[in-house]
């Protein structure tokens, strides 16, 4: 009888033991730490459509970062000028870009001169929305720093914790531009601010990065005076990346503006840490748009359309009383292109305005039609190259005969650049 109960209890005990068993957690993959950096998005959520190949865009950047995250631990940094702060549309863009930076997991954002043109109240709202650290430590408000000068984050590098100090400053050369919109603000020279912070930050963290909204020459001077930084990201270098400059242990880097490139600084394996190499990746059409970033862009476009911002754009009249977008200075080149019978270079990009759902955005229309008369803008949208026509003839064709395809041409003829 006892043996019978023993036989029955053995499976029960085994099941109980299995219930308490927990397999050991697998060792996390040893990913190396890389620093992703950029400067001056300038409102380019997606490419403007005026070049081939189409380069840049935040949805493509989001795709690239997901690919990089499979092989690297990422520290994500942005340096200044979310937009050009030219009006209500750029306010909406700034909000959308903050949402996109949040979705991509950005750790810090340093402010630039155009960001301050949004006004402090608006910046405070963006700061509350941003999940990372919003920095610009040498801007003073009422005698106190308007924003933090630095933040400290911890990342894993080959399964070892690495503390990274990120500082953010702006050049004092932009003091007048900042005070024009915010007269109550003052700017301490960047070198003076770093002198005051030096005792706190020169030994803080295993790796130190400075986001500096200023030119390469100023960044070089800061690197010479404060050699404890491993990486300085500067601004104002132009359209594309510039060669990396080495000053002592400090790498000075710039990845270009308008969100066309992404800079990546890779860390060496063992402490003491340093930047082993830097690369720049061009965001070509090979990178598909990230779906979530695209959804955020569509939300932004819906707000632009709901506020009917295109209808508020001032018009500039042509000689015959019609309206067009862009500068009069470019009209001679337009007439020359029209007279030669060559296909206007904007024909393909203008079709993209319709396919990318940007037909109601003032920025898109102004960029696309800059310098083109209404006649030339219409011809740019034709499905076939225009036939040869004299300049005199091109100037006298009445608006009624203008091309009406694609559907965007109805509003494109009426749009114009800001006065």
Residues 329 and 222 in one domain: no
Residues 123 and 67 in one domain: yes
State the residue range of the domain holding 398.
312-412
Q: In the structure, what pLDDT confidence band is assigned to residue 167 with cuts at 50, 70 and 90?
A: very high
Residues 267 and 334 in one domain: no
Distance CA 368, CA 382 (A): 15
Question: What's the pLDDT tens digit per position in 111-139?
Answer: 999 999 999 999 999 999 999 999 999 99
Residues 199 and 286 in one domain: yes
Distance CA 198, CA 211 (A): 16
Q: Residue 2 belongs to what H/E stretch?
A: helix 2-20
Residues 378 and 290 in one domain: no
Distance CA 29, CA 136 (A): 35
Report the CATH number at residue 269: 3.60.21.10
Total domains present in the chain:
2
pLDDT at position 372: 44
Cα distances (Å, whole numbers) of residue 248 to 220, 231, 274, 367, 384: 10, 11, 11, 42, 58
Tell me what the mean pLDDT of segment 12-19 comes to.
56
Question: Is 197 part of any domain?
Answer: yes
Residues 277 and 334 in one domain: no
pLDDT at position 176: 96
Q: Which among 294, 323, 355 is the end of a domain?
A: 294
Predicted confidence (pLDDT) at residue 1 exceeds the cutoff of 70: no
Q: Which among 294, 325, 358 is the end of a domain?
A: 294
pTM surpassing 0.85? no
Q: Which among 259, 294, 329 is the end of a domain?
A: 294
pLDDT at position 110: 98
Tell me what the mean pLDDT of segment 396-407 comes to.
35
Q: CB atoms < 10 A from the CB of 288, how many?
A: 10
Question: What's the pLDDT tens digit per position in 327-370?
Answer: 444 444 444 444 444 444 444 545 555 555 665 676 665 544 44
Written as one string, the DSSP assignment of 182-236 is -TTEEE--HHHHHHHHHHHHTTSSSEEEEEEES-HHHHHHHHHH-TT-SEEE---
Predicted confidence (pLDDT) at residue 195 exceeds the cutoff of 80: yes
- Cβ atoms of 107 and 77 within 8 Å: the answer is yes
Q: In the structure, what pLDDT confidence band is assigned to residue 47 with cuts at 50, 70 and 90?
A: confident
Residues 230 and 174 in one domain: yes
Predicted confidence (pLDDT) at residue 25 exceeds the cutoff of 80: no
Residues 224 and 347 in one domain: no
Residues 102 and 233 in one domain: yes
Residues 316 and 260 in one domain: no
């Amino acid at each position: 009888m006892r043996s019978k109960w023993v036989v029955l209890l053995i499976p029960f005990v085994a099941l109980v033991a299995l219930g308490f068993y927990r397999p050991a957690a697998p060792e996390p993959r040893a990913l190396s730490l890389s620093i992703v950096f950029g400067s001056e998005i300038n409102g380019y959520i997606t490419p403007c459509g005026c070049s081939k190949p189409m380069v840049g865009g935040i949805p493509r950047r989001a795709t690239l970062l997901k690919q990089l995250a499979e092989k690297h631990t990422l520290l994500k940094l942005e340096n200044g000028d979310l937009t050009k702060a030219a009006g209500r549309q750029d306010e909406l863009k700034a909000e959308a870009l903050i949402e996109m930076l949040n979705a991509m997991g950005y750790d810090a954002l340093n402010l630039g001169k155009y960001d301050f043109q949004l006004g402090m109240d608006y910046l405070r709202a963006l700061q509350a929305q941003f999940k990372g650290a919003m920095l610009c430590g040498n801007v003073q408000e009422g005698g106190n720093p308007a924003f933090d000068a630095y933040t400290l984050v911890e990342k894993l590098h080959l399964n070892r914790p690495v503390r990274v100090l990120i500082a953010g400053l702006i050049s004092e050369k932009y003091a007048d531009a900042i005070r024009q919109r915010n007269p109550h603000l003052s700017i301490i020279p960047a070198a003076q601010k770093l002198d005051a912070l030096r005792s706190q930050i020169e030994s803080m963290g295993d790796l130190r990065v400075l986001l500096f909204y200023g030119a390469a020459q100023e960044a070089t001077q800061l690197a010479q005076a404060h050699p404890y930084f491993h990486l300085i990201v500067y601004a104002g270098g132009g359209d594309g990346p510039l060669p990396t400059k080495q000053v002592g242990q400090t790498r000075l880097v710039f990845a270009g503006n308008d969100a066309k490139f992404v800079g990546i600084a890779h860390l060496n394996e063992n402490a003491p840490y340093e930047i082993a190499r830097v690369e720049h990746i061009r965001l070509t059409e090979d990178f598909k748009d990230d779906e979530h970033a695209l959804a955020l862009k569509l939300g932004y476009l819906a707000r632009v359309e709901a506020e009917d911002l295109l209808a508020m754009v001032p018009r500039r009249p042509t000689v015959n009383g019609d309206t067009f977008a862009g500068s009069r200075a470019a009209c001679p080149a337009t007439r020359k292109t029209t007279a030669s019978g060559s296909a206007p270079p904007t024909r393909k990009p203008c079709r993209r305005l319709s396919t990318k759902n940007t037909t109601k955005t003032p920025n898109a229309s102004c960029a696309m039609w800059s310098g083109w008369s209404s006649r030339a803008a219409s011809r740019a949208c034709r499905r076939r190259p225009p036939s040869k026509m004299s300049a005199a003839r091109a100037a006298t064709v009445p608006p009624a005969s203008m091309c009406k395809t694609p559907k965007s041409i109805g509003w494109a003829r009426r749009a114009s650049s800001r006065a």
